[in-house]
Chain A
Amino acid sequence: GAGVSQTPSNKVTEKGKYVELRCDPISGHTALYWYRQSLGQGPEFLIYFQGTGAADDSGLPNDRFFAVRPEGSVSTLKIQRTERGDSAVYLCASSLGDRAIYNEQFFGPGTRLTVL
């Protein structure tokens, strides 16, 4: 597709459940980022992939959060034992990464996660 796509657009789950959020980046973009955004806040960095490997996962809040990008394209953010505090909009962005000097990111529409 022309842009970054994310599925689902909305996810409602119960406390303690497991969820997976998917991101499909722009074709040819080697870098992929996950962010979390709460109301009235800027995007909070979670993890960054360059190709298949996680180049920086310093933003993952705890070991309940995990992300993969097995073939260097689609990525899945996985959250175990969800808590109400995990409720937020999860944004994915992609860029040319280390193929470019400058790293302009393009965002997907986001997944709104609500944990009841």
Chain B
Amino acid sequence: QKEVEQNSGPLSVPEGAIASLNCTYSDRGSQSFFWYRQYSGKSPELIMSIYSNGDKEDGRFTAQLNKASQYVSLLIRDSQPSDSATYLCAAQKTSYDKVIFGPGTSLSVIP
């Protein structure tokens, strides 16, 4: 079992719709969770971090964390073609530990 798992996709949504990206993790000791966006040929870019159960909103992005279910999600509202990218989920135990990345989910927003 991989430590951080994501559906590889591709996930296709029409422009203006809500895109929902999911991630599960196996280490119950994980405390910090991150979502990165990676455009083709570019390096990952941090878009959201979440540390507490519940929702965290930042503009069109909402991260959701459920530690009991070991589940993290990212919602993108009013999806735009520029949101088309691979979204990487990552988990970390403490700031002293390594960060483990999932394989990423490819998102395509269709105009």
A residues apposed to B, CB below 8 Å: 31, 33, 35, 40-45, 48, 50, 55-56, 58-59, 91, 95-98, 100-110
Contact = CB atoms under 8 A, between A and B. Distances in A.
A50 B96 contact: yes
Contact of A109 (B36, B43, B98): B43
A56 B88 CA distance: 22
Contacts of A104: 34, 46, 49
A70 B36 CA distance: 29
A41 B103 contact: yes
Interface residues on B, range: 20 to 34
B56 to A, nearest CB: 12
B43 A101 contact: no
A95 B36 CA distance: 15
Interface of B: 4, 6, 8, 32, 34, 36, 42-46, 49, 51, 88, 92, 95-104
B44 A91 contact: yes
7 contacts: A42-B88, A43-B44, A45-B101, A98-B95, A102-B51, A102-B95, A105-B99
Given A33-B98, A50-B96, A106 B46 contact: yes
Given A40-B8, A41-B104, A42-B104, 13 more contacts: A31-B95, A41-B103, A42-B103, A43-B44, A43-B101, A44-B101, A45-B100, A58-B98, A59-B98, A95-B95, A104-B34, A104-B49, A109-B42
